[in-house]
A and B are shown apart, each in its own frame.
Chain A
Amino acid sequence: MNPDNPKMGFFETIANIDRRVIFLFIGFAVIIPVLLSFSCTEEATPIVQAVYDEIESLPEGSKVLISFDYGPSTVPEVQPMIDALLRHSCEKNLKMYMMALWGTGHNLISESMQDIIEKEFPHKIYGVDYVNLGYKAGNQGLINVILTDMKKMYTTDARGSEIDAVPMMVDIRNLKSFDLILSMGGGFPGIKEWVLFGGDPGNIPVAGGATAVSAPLLYPYYPRQLLGLLGGIKGAAEYESALIKGYPKFKTHSHPAIDMMGPQTVAHIVIVFFIVIGNITFFIGRKREEGEKREGGVIK
């Protein structure tokens, strides 16, 4: 602080504000709306609508491979997408093949099966309408293998049954047996690997959901190599809205993404505010510096 010029000191303080003050603001920007259950409404953008429309257009009994390529750390972002997609697929009577490229995805499959399919669609039969293929190591290498031979890697399902004893697996030979691949996650391995090693070489439609951080990176693949994409919690909220629009009965079900948009919006505004403040103080600071330099006889 400069005692001779308290005003300048003020701007300097703001410009070089302790990061912990920003942290505090962000903390409150999230806690308060969460406590007050503040929420916003969403409209589906074309890239999200494309995924919805594709599932909507699949005939009954089509085979959809859903890859759980995420971990607990991205559950808040990705789980709402999975829930909405599973509901939609169940409603359309599609066959759901669930697998994971991430070790952490393994448990998430069982949880999703319990929470959505078993609870909300009790008439669906394991092994006929849906199957848990579990996690296999190998990342893109795994995709590479199952592109030509699925059963080389999947000798059993996640429950330990011999793979050919699972009715819906009998006519599956490799990735090309599927009508649609949905990769959920966006990290590595994820959608990019599915496009590069599965969709492109096998000519199989790939769509998916990604964390918002990886979504921009996947834009170049859309729409030719990637059918559509749910980007981040906003994408999930849009899909939830589209689903409720198409099937109003889902309105009473949980829609965590829509709920989550509230706190995010507030925190977003706080960040925008800090960027604006940062720039204003930066310019005032620079003006002052220039002024001082002139006084000192140095003109730059």
Chain B
Amino acid sequence: MTTKINIGPIHPSTHGVLRLVVELDGDTIVGVEPHIGFLHRGVEKLAENRMYMQNIGYMEKIDYVAPMAYDDAYVAAVEEAMGVEVKERAKYIRTILLELQRIASHLLWLGTMANDLGQFYTLFMWTFRDRDKILRLLQEHAGARMFYLNMRPGGVVRDLPPDFEENTLQVLDYIEKRITEYEHYLESNQVFIERTKGIGVLSREMAIELGATGPVLRGSGVNYDTRSNKPYYAYSELGFRPQVMFAGDSFARYKVRMLEMKESIRMVREAFKKIPEGDAVGMPVRLIMPQAKNKIVTVNRETPRGEAFIYMIADKERPYRLSIRTPSFINLSLINEIAKGSRLADLFAILGSLDLVMADVDL
């Protein structure tokens, strides 16, 4: 006999407003049916009715944990439509900022995942404290804590502040120490290992078949990362190596993100050594107006949650069609496949390991 329980849309562990109808046989999950759309606001439709420069602000709100990633993806699409080259120094600045954003996003994920596993907010508070240091750095550059609006076609809104490098390196040293500590803290905890290893297994074949992306795909042993397969900005010069784990379980996904944070720290340090002098300021917003009509543009970007893909048909003043593939959307569609057969308590560990942002799902 099976029972059905309804989880959400308001529930502490669904990271936003997600409704799951879970069919249970005792304590074992028979099926999970996600109901989404509680945050659907029609970004694609709104974007068709806004000027190019106005849309930058809308793109940031797609993924509010890592706003800069979409900011960058959209501006890159506009750049391609306008035929503008990114300045050499701006490439490095964007790489640095995007990687800092990735670290901040992964730190938030780490805290919330520990919370989902039943930890009483301790790691959550610690990672928030660390994340705040990065937000302060980004605030120094962009002037805002969350929604930066700092990407402009051809470059960024302004050059890095004078003591940015020094501060960043200091913060990175601190964060590297902390990450090692958290890693030690979690991996020496037998209960944590038991609750993540062998839970929510996604095989390599299924990961490709179901279209998993980002750390979920890499946790299943697929070596695909947009930063190395379709290198953009300074990633190929910085010697980026994609982080791959082969087990495909929650622990592998956790480990991929931890390794990614370390890789990001290494890359930012490397980028500060190689960053060229020169101009980095992009064009002012009033000039953003691609002249091409019906030019088709595709952009792939690796956001912290996975691969974002933008398909844009450019028109004169506003995009004729802006279609966005968001990583959380497709990662959530896996949930039924990987949660089947596990326990109810595991469902939240699995949800945590997928790192979902609900606005990213609902678009």
Q: Do A and B bind each other?
A: no
Interface residues in chain B, defined as those with a beta carbon under 8 Å from any beta carbon in chain A: none
Interface residues in chain A, defined as those with a beta carbon under 8 Å from any beta carbon in chain B: none
